[in-house]
Structure 1
Amino acid sequence: MYHQHIQLALPCRGSSANAMSTQLNDTRSVDMCPKLYRAVCRGQTEEVLERLLPLHGAAAADKATGIIQHGRCDILEVTAAGNTVLHLAAEKGRDELIQELYIRFREKVKSLLSRQNSALDTPLHCAARAGSDKAVVVLVQMARDCGESILECKNEAGDTALHLAARHGHAKAVEALVSAATAVAAKLNNAGVSPLYLAVMSGSVKALKAITTCKEASSVGPGLQNALHAAVFQSKAQKMVELLLKWRKDLADEVDCHGSSPLHFASSDGDCKLVGAILRDAPPRTVYKKDLDGLSALHVAAQMGHHRVAKLLLESCPDAAELRDNNGRTFLHAAANEKRSSVVSLAIKKFKDSKLRGLLDAQDRKGDTPLHLAVAAGAPGIVESLLRKGKVRVDVLNNDGKTPLDLAAESTSYFTMVSLVVTLVAFKAQTRPQRQDHLKPWDISNIVKGIEKTSDSLAVVAVLIATAALAAGFNLPGGYGEKGQANLERKPAFKIFLFLDTLAVATSMVAVILLVYGKASCSAGSWKSFVASLHCMWVSLNSLMLAFNEALVTVMPTGYRFGLMAIQLCIEALIFWITVCVAPSARSSLTHLCRFLWHRSRSKGSHAIKRQYPLAGASILNLFLFMVTNVIVSIGFLVVTYSRSLENEPLVATSPAPSPVPL
């Protein structure tokens, strides 16, 4: 025999006062016997019935201690969490056990149908959460026979059984609950969320279908969202969207607490099929809806770079392009500000020959055009598209009196600034009218700091290149003769090797000297010596590489030339990739670069451009010099590779044949 304390199980809050009073009188029960607990969980109906008494199985409680002496088990016993036998059987899906208990203990089971545990869950909540659809059907039928209204009972979170079944995507349980009482589909929990919204979030199309059979069902979600807002981001989004719009088309026109419609959500996701489905069934005014920031669905698609969605919206409602947000910006402003080149290209293609041509130069409330915003965002590719394809104006002043070229000075990236200036000046852009002595040159302090940090490392690299070149000079290809002369000293290839190796040593030493000078001077003009040292290092490195190739071609068989060619092609591809990625101005066509240099030196206002952007012209000249160096290296490699093509054997030194030994 063992002792247990009395527990109290609560009735459903939806019960009447009389029923509640009756239930409270019957709620004094003992803690559940462990053997009964295990038997119920295992679904052992016969053992459960053997342990339950027909009437009052528990001994009378000791009035002094409040402790009950167990004889046999009682159906009113509860677990530590307040779960009755009916809770456990429902949670485990033991529908046969529930039916048998109802037959044997009808009156007591009737009182347990609406009994709540410590989380205020009824047995129907437990069955719905576990997805035990048969148990749900049995409990609903029992409640109907007993006149209990358990379908609308709510737990601690305000969830009905339908909320729990929908949240976990148990379609059959949802169907059973909805068919029993359609009104429960309109109930909201404490978070203000409907079962329909939870069914969408679970991703269950069948559960969604079951609830949408109720015309009075609610679709409300958190933050004033509806089920269509949530359906956009589900794995079976298209099917759910079609079902919801078929059920209630007005869902597409509802907005959440931020003013966003489901079309805003679909545009941000970028799924053209979803957007098309909403456009087919939604009211026409949906496309023109704006959120609290004044953004339409077209603005959202432009910001996210979904050009196909933007095209679909424009084809559906062409005049949506004229919509402006709270800052007076069109969708083209939004795309330029977020560096969405695909959307900008779409707008240029749509508007450059139409009546909406003026939108390409439209100004927002700050007076900024899309070109202003593209420059401020540091997007050289978009700037070039607007200028070359869109033919936008470059002389528009914003409310601060600045042209797009003036905004290039606000860029903190050196390469971005150079690329923007090159592109703008190539299309005859000018700075705003102002006194020349008031011009502020672009801040090069960051460049000077970068030079100071990298000069030491580059000096070490230059010394290593010189060391390698000197070592190659003392380990000549072909070796040495008896008198110490090089075996290949008379060969042209050997002379080329010596020239290239000597050039590598000289240029690397010059680079070291320039780096040391720039480091010691600590002046604003130190960048010039730094750039010159970089060119010297590049020449030194390429000279050393060509000397190495010349030595190999001289002493190795002909077949090795193809291997050298493959290696050189890989190096050239790497150089090209680094040039394009590091220096965006290298992406500009040769025509643009030449036009930039011409307008920078000849056009009106060229002095202002030189004074405000002193490094732009030097960068382009250095780029040209770098490209010329690479071309020379490529030509030199071809010369080295095929220099021995007319000879059948490599120039390997051979020792003279030994004289015959006299007998």
Structure 2
Amino acid sequence: MDMEAIIRERGQREKEKETDRERERYISAAMEAELKLNNTQPPPPEIRGSMMHWSLLQAAMNGDTNVLAYVNNFCINDYFLSKTSPEQENIIHIAVKSRQLRFIKEALDIFPTLIHDQDMDGNTPLHVAACQGENNIISLLISHLRNHNCSSATNNNGEDDDCRGVLAMNVQGNTPFHVAIENRKVEAAVVFCRECAEDQLERLFHTTNHDARTPLHLSNQSNLWGHQLSIRNTNVGSVQAHTLDVVKNLKEMMMRTKRVAKEQALVERKMDDILYKAAVTMDLEVFHGVRRRDGDIEGGSIVRPDNAYFLAQTANGSNIIHIALQQGKREGVRFIEEALDRFPSLIFQADSYGDTPIHLAAKSDNPVSKAFLKRFSRVYIQIREQHKQGVLAQPWKAKNSKGNMPIHEALRTNNVYAALVLLRIDFDAASFVNNLGETPLHNVGTVDVDDPLFETMITHHISAAYARDNDGLTPLLRAAKSGRFRIVRALLERCPQSAYMRDPEGKTFLHLLRFEGGDVDEHSADQLFKQMGENLFKLPEADAQRLVLDHEGNTPLHCAIKSGNSIAAEILTRRCLKTEEQSELILSNNDGETVQNLLASHEVPNEVLELIRKRHRNVMYSARSTYGVRRANIKDSAGSLSIIAGLLATITFAAAFQVPGGFDGDSGSPVLFPELDIKYWGSDSLNKLGSLIGIPLKTDETTKEKTMLNYARMLTDIPREGTFPDYVEFVNEYDILVRQKVEFGWKPTKCTHCNLGHEEEECRKKLNIRRE
């Protein structure tokens, strides 16, 4: 390059610099003149050295929107877009800190991309507003992001334009939502939930910062909502997985907020009383015209409203279909059919709880719901034919505020008819997952293996039988834990491999199995075992789970005894004793406890004890002490045992040296213990109670079988000279003195003077005394 070219280039650069200086001097002079007119004081000295001119900084701090007017006159956009404070804050950052709502709105209308600028800490204006808890500014900024998709904004996370500002991260990886929760700005967090679009909410709650923390983690860490959230860390290989067990979390707060906002909006344009009353009374005349009053004329005129009139909703979001379904009266069938034929788009409307009409129909089993479901498919096909272009919403896939689709609601209420209709509409409904991670098989109630509903779900989506919900439970594990034995059996017969799947604690379905509900009679365990237990263990996959140990080393029999699951304990014991190895009696858990130890330390049904006693008497002797008390409770019962031991020794001594004829060993006296607690009906307990009165001989059949629970009765040998008390006292297992009422079926005649078998009036000894 020659010397002349270098000189020309240098001159050009100097000219450009001079132009920039003149432009800045002009802006400064203009703004200073404006500030002088407003009697504005000059800024502090430390602000004068910033990259942004102090006058512009002062305007942003004071909310002076006049400075923005110079943009249109002098085309100086680049000045506002490039100038920042020493902390790299633009005019929006500064205005947010100063709470200048009007300035922010007007500035963003002219410079929409400023909302994405980050300061030296990576904070956008939305981060600053979230930190300060400025709810109105947060609402304005989110609304601006929603209405202005700034294509020039960059996003390192690859999110779409609608999510860029809301999910923007600072240097710590925190989104504005993280910042609001971290600074305990609850109302600000609610504003985020209310203003963000529904498709943004899932990302809003599950975006993690650089410490792998979601906003929900931070809310728990700062105890923002008390005990509404519990977090359990589970190591999965080298990955730290955070399992969230949400009881009442921020999502519920969000749903309530959105519901209230929707209700407030509906109040302004709510359904009028005439249409509401017509829906409640199922009045078909409303579809042919609405009678209005004209002045003072009672009759009025007939007005034919447009379609929008019939699409109106009540304050809680219900349309006329919702109302008719809620009434559930047979007269509403014709009303439903007429409404669907005239206004088919009603099927898409949801109330404040997110329930569409098909949700309500799925929840209720009545004539109106059935009429709606019969009509629904035809109405939807008709709408689809009219709207061939674009994507048409599918109401059977919509989730309500609880996160349930119609198929889940149908099965939760055991509405089999509705569930079958929904499956015929879309066979994929068998695999739909709600917000709890549950498939329809998780929610199914009572069903048999040959039931059409169960057959349809398994046939079209057998994979749903192996799906886990948010608690890590498959449909089989959930059914076992809930005591739905018929579903357990049906799932095992159709999907036997599901028996090998365990819950997060390593428990199989046998560990969780409970017998509850109408199928189970706790007083007929023998019959129950024959009907259910034997059929269950015929499946090799089910029988193989008897010896599986959970993470604590417990077999299913261990768990049944420890949890007091008496029927499961008896069924598992019966199955164990039918095998040659009887391995369950030998295996010990991580605490070194065998079934033998558990029998001594836990309340075990007498049936289980009798079953094991017949086969292993040594087990029972080692499990219990000489007095029949569990070894674990010997220390607590020492005082009571000492008293009883003394009484037994006294009675034994008295019986050995009793004068012949003092006891009637062939008959004895029936002793009744009215309202005796059922836990003392065992042979050991009754013997101890009877020994307080005499020598126990035997109990009757009704007491042994526990078929008559009004009283326990036993035959006791009592000396004629002994007492016949109205009550006996003993100390129970809680060291509490118990007074037990006693009744006698027969009392011998006894003279109070000589204690022989005659009345006092006939006593010869007494008569002899009188003669003397």
Task: Give the TM-score, by structure 2 length.
Answer: 0.42
Query: Whose RCO is larger (CA < 8 A, sep 6+)?
Result: 1
Higher strand share: 2
TM-score (norm 1): 0.48
Which structure has more helix as a fraction of its residues? 1
